[in-house]
Amino acid sequence: MTLRQPVLDRVPITSRSGVYRLKALCSEALAKESTDPKSRQDWEELAMEWHIMANLAGSASDEISPNEVAGQ
């Protein structure tokens, strides 16, 4: 498994929620590349946690509306 982060190289970071979303995307990519089921599950869970952090950071700084956080 390689630990490369192509998304981070191309996207400017301007907010905390943006950083967390990129980390979630990278974790999702690593989950797809993983051949070990336990490792895949760990990466997927980490991605979910980063998405939650992104939503919380976005709602705390008014970057996203409460409806987006609730998934509506």
Query: Per residue in 22-31, pLDDT tens?
Result: 999 999 999 9
Average pLDDT for the chain: 79
The answer to whether position 5 is within a domain reads no
The answer to whether position 24 is within a domain reads yes
Tell me the residue range of the domain where 46 lies: 15-69
pLDDT of residue 7: 56
Task: Give the separation between CA 29 and CA 20, rounded to whole angstroms.
Answer: 14
Q: Residue range 43-67: average pLDDT?
A: 81
Contact 43, 28 (CB under 8 A): yes
Element (DSSP H or E) covering residue 39: helix 37-60
Q: Residue range 30-35: average pLDDT?
A: 95
Domain tally, the chain: 1
pTM over 0.85: no
The answer to whether position 36 is within a domain reads yes
Task: Give the separation between CA 49 and CA 28, rounded to whole angstroms.
Answer: 11
Residue 1, pLDDT > 60, answer no
- Quick one: how many helices (H) and strands (E) in the chain? 4, 0
Task: Give the separation between CA 11 and CA 70, rounded to whole angstroms.
Answer: 26
